[in-house]
């Protein structure tokens, strides 16, 4: 059984190339969805390769609080007995999981009992109006607290709507589509950019009728979802730390197998290739309707690039680590249209700029992105993970190319999405000590 051991800090030195053939843990987005959707399906679902991490465990706990029976064969293998959800006597605690709380809200508004959705102080700072506004248009009775969690849901009859989504968001789209399952007529979401489509892929595989016309996705209401039998592919967003590290650490030659290659997730690959990265992708098959394959990375000479438009949402979680790659590139890298980075677990533009500056980096922050001047030499320092998994792991990658030792404190959050991150880096040859 792979356990999620959490370490308070990582101490990194820039010696050791990254080599070998590795796998990353299961996809976080798909793992959240697999547990939620199988809980409301009629029958018994099997889930293998499930991500046992902080965020997904929070979602699993919430579903169990709603009366769902789950057999845990090992950390990553679950049998979920779906059916009717039942009222929880306690608020549902989604801890740090933004995907967990926003998607579950879409399900809870369709239930015939009340609920309270809540989470950590970090989650309570995140904007929920983006879901309560469209859910309100659907006649859902959901009240946020100053626009955030806790959110109080009271039963009501949901009506189908057409929602023109102001920001491209996989979470908002999924929340509205899930509420649409319980509506009195079809629901359509029009998206301004190609956000991840795992909800559409999985619900379709479970028998829901979902159609897409251009940027409009329509779901027909149903209370008859079939159970699923899936193996969750590796998380591209976890692989991203290794991909970037292998690009910038000298003499690296690394293969990552079994990674989800859904094009709504792999924007970083397109960007790194355009920057000149030596990366080869081989699609090997499909899991649960998602393309899967191997990624082979060799140390690369990168060039600066301008990034904006549709690719931004396809790599929204990868910007912190892209900033590290950009520091190694020849020429400047400019990112625009990425304002959403400011409302993630932290304000990822401000926090990455702040922490990279501690290593000596010169970065210009912009309202909707940043300019990074290439090529820079980093010096080691003590930096902070800010209880944001992608910050802690990106700063660890920065440590791999810094002169002198880098210490990443508040690193336990890496376990929110990537259990075994430190161990895997060590396995590939990185000089990293956990503490
Ligand atoms: C996710 C959607 C994205 C992403 C998050 C996971 C999902 O958030 O940042 O890590 O699983 O739907 P937004 O929808 O807020 O962009």
Does 4 score more than 90 pLDDT? no
In the set 317, 384, 387, 388, the catalytic residue is 317
pLDDT > 70 fraction of the chain, expressed in percent and rounded: 99
- Does the C-beta of 126 come closer than 6 Å to ligand 1? no
Model pLDDT for residues 69-86, shown as the tens digit of each residue: 999 999 999 999 999 999
Model pLDDT for residues 296-334, shown as the tens digit of each residue: 999 999 999 999 999 999 999 999 999 999 999 999 999
Place of tokens 């050791």: 16
pLDDT-based confidence at residue 1 (cuts at 50, 70, 90): very low
Q: How far is CA 173 from CA 215, 267, 423, in A?
A: 11, 19, 35
Which amino acid residue places its CA nearest to atom 11 of ligand 1?
29
- Does the C-beta of 316 come closer than 6 Å to ligand 1? yes
Task: Please report the pLDDT score of residue 5 as a whole number.
Answer: 84
Task: Please report the pLDDT score of residue 137 as a whole number.
Answer: 98
For residue 28, the ligand 1 atom closest to its alpha carbon is 11
Any idea what the Cα angle at residue 413 is, between residues 195 and 315, rounded to 5°? Answer: 20
Q: Ligand 1 centre and the CA of 210: distance in Å?
A: 20
Q: How many CB atoms lie under 10 A from the CB of residue 305?
A: 20
Task: Please report the pLDDT score of residue 3 as a whole number.
Answer: 56
Q: Ligand 1 centre and the CA of 377: distance in Å?
A: 32
CA distance 129 to 142: 10
Tokens of 151: 């959110």
Q: Ligand 1 centre and the CA of 169: distance in Å?
A: 6
- Any idea which of 5-9, 322-326, 349-353, 396-400 has the lowest mean pLDDT? 5-9
Does 130 score more than 60 pLDDT? yes
Does 2 score more than 70 pLDDT? no
Q: What is the mean pLDDT of residues 107-113?
A: 98
Does 268 score more than 90 pLDDT? yes
Q: What is the mean pLDDT of residues 370-386?
A: 96
All domains in the chain, ordered by first residue: 9-26+233-434 (3.65.10.10), 28-230 (3.65.10.10)
Model pLDDT for residues 340-374, shown as the tens digit of each residue: 999 999 999 999 999 999 999 999 999 999 999 99
Is position 317 annotated as part of the catalytic site?
yes
Exposed/middle/buried for residue 358 (C-beta within 10 Å: 0-12, 13-18, 19+) = middle
pLDDT-based confidence at residue 15 (cuts at 50, 70, 90): confident
- Any idea which of 4-13, 187-196, 410-419 has the lowest mean pLDDT? 4-13
The gap from C-alpha 77 to its chain's centroid, in whole angstroms, comes to 20
Tokens of 253: 């030659």
């Amino acid at each position: 059984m792979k356990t999620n051991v959490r370490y308070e800090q990582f101490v990194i030195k820039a010696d050791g190339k990254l080599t070998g053939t590795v796998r990353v843990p299961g996809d976080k987005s798909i793992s959240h969805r697999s547990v939620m959707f199988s809980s409301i399906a009629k029958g018994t679902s099997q889930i293998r390769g499930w991500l046992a991490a902080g965020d997904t465990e929070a979602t699993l706990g919430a579903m169990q609080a709603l009366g769902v029976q789950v057999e845990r064969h090992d950390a990553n293998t679950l049998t979920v007995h779906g059916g009717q959800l039942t009222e929880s006597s306690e608020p549902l605690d989604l801890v740090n999981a933004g995907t967990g709380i926003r998607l579950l809200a879409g399900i809870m508004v369709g239930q015939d009992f009340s609920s309270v959705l809540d989470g950590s102080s970090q989650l309570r700072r995140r904007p929920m109006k983006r879901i309560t506004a469209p859910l309100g248009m659907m006649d859902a009775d959901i009240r946020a607290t100053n626009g955030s969690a806790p959110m109080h849901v009271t039963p009501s009859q949901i009506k189908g709507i057409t929602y023109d989504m102001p920001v491209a968001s996989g979470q908002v789209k999924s929340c509205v589509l899930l509420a649409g399952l319980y509506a009195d007529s079809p629901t359509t979401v029009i998206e301004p950019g190609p956000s991840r489509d795992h909800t559409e892929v999985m619900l379709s595989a479970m028998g829901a009728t979902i159609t897409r016309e251009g940027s409009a996705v329509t779901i027909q209401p149903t209370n008859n979802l079939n159970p699923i039998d899936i193996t969750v592919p590796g998380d591209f967003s976890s692989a991203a730390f290794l991909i970037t590290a292998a690009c910038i650490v000298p003499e690296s030659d690394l293969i990552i197998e079994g990674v989800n290659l859904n094009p709504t997730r792999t924007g970083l690959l397109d960007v790194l290739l355009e920057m000149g990265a030596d990366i080869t992708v081989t699609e090997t098959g499909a899991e649960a309707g998602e393309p899967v394959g191997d990624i082979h990375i060799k140390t690369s000479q990168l060039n600066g690039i301008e990034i904006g438009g549709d690719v931004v949402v396809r790599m929204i979680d990868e910007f912190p680590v892209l900033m590290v790659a950009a520091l190694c590139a020849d020429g400047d890298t400019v990112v625009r249209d990425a304002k959403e980075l400011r409302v993630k677990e932290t304000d990822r533009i401000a926090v990455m700029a702040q922490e990279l500056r501690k290593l000596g980096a010169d970065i210009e922050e912009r309202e909707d992105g940043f300019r990074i001047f290439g090529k820079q030499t980093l010096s080691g320092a003590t930096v902070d993970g800010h209880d944001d998994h992608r910050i802690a792991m990106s700063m660890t990658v920065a440590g791999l190319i810094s002169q002198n030792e880098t210490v990443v404190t508040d690193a336990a959050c890496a376990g929110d999405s990537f259990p075994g991150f430190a161990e895997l880096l060590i396995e590939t040859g990185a000089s990293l000590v956990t503490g």
